[in-house]
Amino acid sequence: MKRCTQITLDPLHHCFPPQLITLATIPLPTSHLFHEASQSADALDELDLHHWDAGPPFLQPEPADTMQEAQFTKNLTHIFLSQKVHLENQAKACRACKYRSGAGSEIVTELHAIITQVFSKWDQLKDSMARCTTRSHKEMTETLLQWHARIIYLYYHEAGILEQGGDPY
């Protein structure tokens, strides 16, 4: 992993598993719910989303496998991802401010550390998928895997641009 985080703009597939790249490049939802929740931290009630962040085994009870539960889980994944996008946009804005103040190499170091940490978490989540016994818990785990893969992918490219003297902001 250390060798991989010495970022260049080489294709990502040289460093990471194909499953990670596939998940990272899945388009985000386009639903109204997703867009509404991503626009503002207080657009929707997101209080219970933190229960899903840790990954399986989830503390939430295993719901019945019904059509209503399937729709609820789909909505939950859209809100969960939109919250993550909102928070990531804020983090990127902070990195842009740091970059403008001349802290480019510090940002690269931070991105490297985050990539390593998130890749480890992604790998653990992938391994924990077998412990998911309901469709909704599997979907939430897949959503977490997708988000972690997306962060790895985005940060990898952001660090690569910075290392080559570019401005990714």
What does the pLDDT look like over 91-122, one tens digit per residue?
A: 999 999 999 999 999 999 999 999 999 999 99
Q: CB–CB of 115/5 below 8 Å? A: yes
Q: CB–CB of 155/117 below 8 Å? A: no
What does the pLDDT look like over 9-23, one tens digit per residue?
A: 344 556 789 999 999
- For residue 32, give every residue at least 6 positions away whose Cβ sits within 8 Å of its Cβ, in sequence order, or none: none
User: CA-based Rg of the chain, rounded to a whole angstrom?
Assistant: 17
Per-10-residue mean pLDDT of the chain, 169 residues long, equals 41 75 94 82 58 70 84 91 92 97 96 96 92 88 96 96 95
